[in-house]
Chains A and B, each alone.
Chain A
Amino acid sequence: MSLLDVRDLRVSYGSPDGDVHAVDGVSLSIDAGEFVGLAGESGCGKTTMAMAIPQLLPRNARISSGSVLFDGVDLSGLDEQAMRAYRWKDISVVFQGALNALNPVQSVGSQIAEPIRVHDSSVSSAQADDRMRELLEAVGIPSRRAHDYPHQFSGGMRQRVMIAMALACRPRLVIADEPITALDVMTQAQIIDLLQGLSERYNLAMLLISHDLSVLAQTCDRVAVMYAGKMAETGPSQDVFGESNGQAKARHPYTQRLLRAYPNIHRERVFIDGIPGSPPDLSRPQQGCRFEPRCDVAMGHCASIEPELITLESRHLAACHLLENDRSGVQS
């Protein structure tokens, strides 16, 4: 059984202009110890999807249907009290923008130790301290810096502190929301390596959200690409990225075009392609495939009938009418 099994989740936000259906029927599963990437551009719903799992959505958002099964328990049905038992102990979050998430007037050591003691009152402060130092070393920060304050650290170091905090109570799933976006390329590489290392060392399942497909390609076991609130394509990284026989392995037209928007130094030096137009307005009801207005290989019925996720190979699925004939007999 998967550690996390999100089934047909629908999340919408209330707004003065009408409900925005940010996530509209998305399923995703993560096994224990698996490193999964969730990709998409702004407005695709990936952050909403990720924040729905630990029930950390803003007040005007609600899960209208679907389930979030963690170890078989549907988290979406739990009240705040019950949810708190899961947060940080089973599922923790690394937020984007560490500077905003860290308390500027508290030392990093005490901020890391805090969740340890909050979630387990039997732990003594000495034990919490030891664990906190262990965590600092695990994320590459010398433990003598435990008494320093967030502003004394660089951006990359602060992100490491956030990661240490997220690991404080030995969670089984870590959700990292754009953890490297604001960092330098070299620091990004360091943090990504760190996350991978931690995932392996502690057998953590990780859900990494990023708009940067190329980073996900290098680090994740599996990747899921969202578009306009729906899942466009999902599968093992080696089946979604890269090329075989000169052809892109990605099957969904959106994924294919998105990959062409990244300059690839291992290929010919050509001008990148973009995707004309913009994503649809999710406060209005959608008909047919959401990518159709921008798709250059759309067929007649794409605008009126919504495509379902089709299983192409083992665990490789894409939602596109063009792939109907490629449906494999393999159960996903």
Chain B
Amino acid sequence: MTSELTQPESKADDRVPVLSIEDLFVEYKVKNPNGRGKSIARAVDGVNLSLYPGETLAIVGESGSGKTSIANAVMRLIDASAGRIVFDGVDIVPLRGKDLRRIRPRLQMIFQDPFESLDPRMTVMDTVVEPLVINSIGASETERRELGLAALERAGLTPADRIARRYTHELSGGQRQRVAIAAAMILEPSVVVADEPVSMLDVSLRAGILRLMADMRDRLGVAYLFITHDLSLAWMFADRIAVVYLGRVVEQGSPVELINNPQHPYTKALVSVIPVPETAAIANRTVLTGEIPNPTAIPVGCRFHPRCPLYRERGEPDTCRIDDPELMQIGVESVHQAACHFVVKVQ
């Protein structure tokens, strides 16, 4: 069964987001390298994102961009320092204990490392029905077993009963990821956070896993928060992309818009360095110098200006060093926004 690539909504939404990240801040205390005292690392420095039912929003960034912290904050694996994460109408940031566990079935996660995210001592069946057991779903063990087998089959793991008896450490990486997906979907969540779900798999296996995720999307109406460093993968799979740099969203829009008409200099650079199996493409790359600064020392003004080619081209304008640009709408398509002082704004 092939799944169609979805087309994004191009108008401003009257839809209600199933997940709304509002002014999210995540801070860590880190020891200083010189050994004296601690500094505050602002991994997420004011992020606003909306995820609509059934849609896939990709969060693209490099390491240090904060994308993983956003995912962990949404999943409440870490605490947000400030801001709201509204899921199904409820701010989940202050939730603890039983209240938090009550929303878990509807908010699931797929992890990056298929070798680490499954307990090697558990059988496949145990792993798949674990969410049911934890949340006391299913009237009997038999019923849970049936649900488990069905989930394995939907995930392409057949013969399901034979595979169910194996220990997870006996499966290959691709198979394990399928088990992880089956376990995540068995509770029929409304939002699934997928943290680099295919980056540790062989390239030839990725399509299979992504197709499975797309099938689940079609079948269950799941909305994905798709975390990845691979912009071309996000372009192919997502309905909308948000590019993050040093804890902020610097640009967001539809995949086609972002790739063909990137507005933020960082996005432009990222797009230009995407390796394609095309030998001629290497000429027009913008390879940025240096590396992402430490989140304990976020540059003042526009956080990208020290590495920004546009900043240099324009003779190092003061505004980039002083004012922190906001996300502004670009063009007619309301979903395309960028945070740069020099984007052409919509009147």
Find out whether A and B make contact in their complex, taking CB atoms under 8 A apart as touching. Answer: yes
Q: A189 interface residue, CB < 8 Å from B? A: yes
A184 touches B277 (CB 8 A): no
> How many Å lie between the Cα of A216 and that of B205 in the bound state?
20
The proximity string for A residues 134-162 relative to B, scoring 1 for CB distances below 8 Å and 0 otherwise, is 00000000000000000010111100000
Residues of A within 8 A of B282 (CB): 218-219
A261 touches B269 (CB 8 A): no
B208 touches A186 (CB 8 A): no
B203 touches A278 (CB 8 A): no
A190 touches B287 (CB 8 A): yes
Residues of A within 8 A of B33 (CB): 152
B235 touches A265 (CB 8 A): yes
Given that A184-B62, A218-B282, A278-B172 are contacting pairs, would A265 and B204 also be in contact in the complex, using a CB cutoff of 8 Å? Answer: no
A217 touches B278 (CB 8 A): yes
Near B by CB (< 8 A), chain A positions 16-49 give: 41-42
Q: A275 interface residue, CB < 8 Å from B? A: yes
B202 touches A186 (CB 8 A): no
**In the complex, what residue of chain A is closest to B173 when comparing beta carbons?**
A42
Q: A185 interface residue, CB < 8 Å from B? A: yes
B236 touches A185 (CB 8 A): no
Given that A242-B277, A242-B279, A262-B277 are contacting pairs, would A274 and B63 also be in contact in the complex, using a CB cutoff of 8 Å? Answer: no
B203 touches A270 (CB 8 A): no
Cβ 8 A contact of B203, one of A41, A152, A187, A217: A41
A217 touches B276 (CB 8 A): yes
**In the complex, what residue of chain B is closest to A217 when comparing beta carbons?**
B277
> How many Å lie between the Cα of A156 and that of B289 in the bound state?
12
Cβ 8 A contact of A262, one of B172, B208, B232, B269: B232
Cβ 8 A contact of A185, one of B204, B205, B270, B279: B270
> How many Å lie between the Cα of A42 and that of B276 in the bound state?
21
Cβ 8 A contact of B63, one of A152, A184, A241, A278: A184
Q: A266 interface residue, CB < 8 Å from B? A: yes
Given that A185-B229, A241-B277, A271-B211 are contacting pairs, would A262 and B2 also be in contact in the complex, using a CB cutoff of 8 Å? Answer: no
Stretch at the interface among A104-112, A124-132, A207-215, A314-322: A207-215
Q: A258 interface residue, CB < 8 Å from B? A: yes
B275 touches A272 (CB 8 A): no
**In the complex, what residue of chain B is closest to A186 when comparing beta carbons?**
B288
A265 touches B276 (CB 8 A): yes
Residues of A within 8 A of B280 (CB): 242
Chain B: minimal CB distance from A25 (Å): 23
Chain B: minimal CB distance from A140 (Å): 9
Residues of A within 8 A of B281 (CB): 218, 266
Q: Most chain-B CB neighbours within 10 Å: which of A155, A156, A276?
A: A276
Cβ 8 A contact of A274, one of B205, B277, B285: B205
B203 touches A258 (CB 8 A): yes
Chain B: minimal CB distance from A156 (Å): 6
The proximity string for B residues 260-292 relative to A, scoring 1 for CB distances below 8 Å and 0 otherwise, is 000000000111011111111110010111011
A263 touches B233 (CB 8 A): yes
Chain A: minimal CB distance from B70 (Å): 17
The proximity string for B residues 195-215 relative to A, scoring 1 for CB distances below 8 Å and 0 otherwise, is 000000011111110110010
A214 touches B275 (CB 8 A): yes
* Chain B interfacial residues counted at CB < 8 A: 47
Residue pairs across A and B with CB atoms within 8 Å: the count is 130
Cβ 8 A contact of A272, one of B174, B207, B269, B288: B207
Residues of A within 8 A of B205 (CB): 274-275, 278
Q: B3 interface residue, CB < 8 Å from A? A: yes
Residues of A within 8 A of B210 (CB): 271-272
Near B by CB (< 8 A), chain A positions 230-275 give: 237-238, 241-242, 257-259, 261-266, 269-275
Chain B: minimal CB distance from A113 (Å): 24
The proximity string for A residues 186-215 relative to B, scoring 1 for CB distances below 8 Å and 0 otherwise, is 111110010000000000000000011111
Q: B295 interface residue, CB < 8 Å from A? A: no
A271 touches B214 (CB 8 A): yes
> How many Å lie between the Cα of A106 and that of B60 in the bound state?
36
Residues of B within 8 A of A152 (CB): 33
Residues of A within 8 A of B256 (CB): 269
> How many Å lie between the Cα of A273 and that of B209 in the bound state?
11
Residues of A within 8 A of B5 (CB): 269-271
**In the complex, what residue of chain B is closest to A271 when comparing beta carbons?**
B5
Q: B231 interface residue, CB < 8 Å from A? A: yes
Residues of B within 8 A of A187 (CB): 62, 291
**In the complex, what residue of chain A is closest to B2 when comparing beta carbons?**
A271
**In the complex, what residue of chain A is closest to B274 when comparing beta carbons?**
A265
A262 touches B203 (CB 8 A): yes
**In the complex, what residue of chain B is closest to A275 when comparing beta carbons?**
B204
A274 touches B208 (CB 8 A): yes
Residues of A within 8 A of B277 (CB): 213-214, 217, 241-242, 259, 262, 264
**Selected A-B contacts with CB under 8 Å, 13 pairs:** A41-B203, A155-B63, A184-B62, A213-B203, A215-B275, A217-B276, A217-B277, A218-B279, A263-B232, A265-B274, A266-B276, A269-B5, A275-B204
12 additional contacts (CB under 8 A) given A265-B259, A270-B236, A272-B206: A184-B229, A185-B229, A186-B62, A188-B275, A189-B273, A211-B202, A212-B203, A212-B275, A217-B275, A218-B281, A262-B232, A271-B3
Which 10 pairs, one residue from A and one from B, show the smallest C-beta to C-beta distance? A274-B207, A184-B62, A214-B275, A275-B204, A263-B236, A41-B202, A217-B277, A189-B273, A263-B232, A274-B208
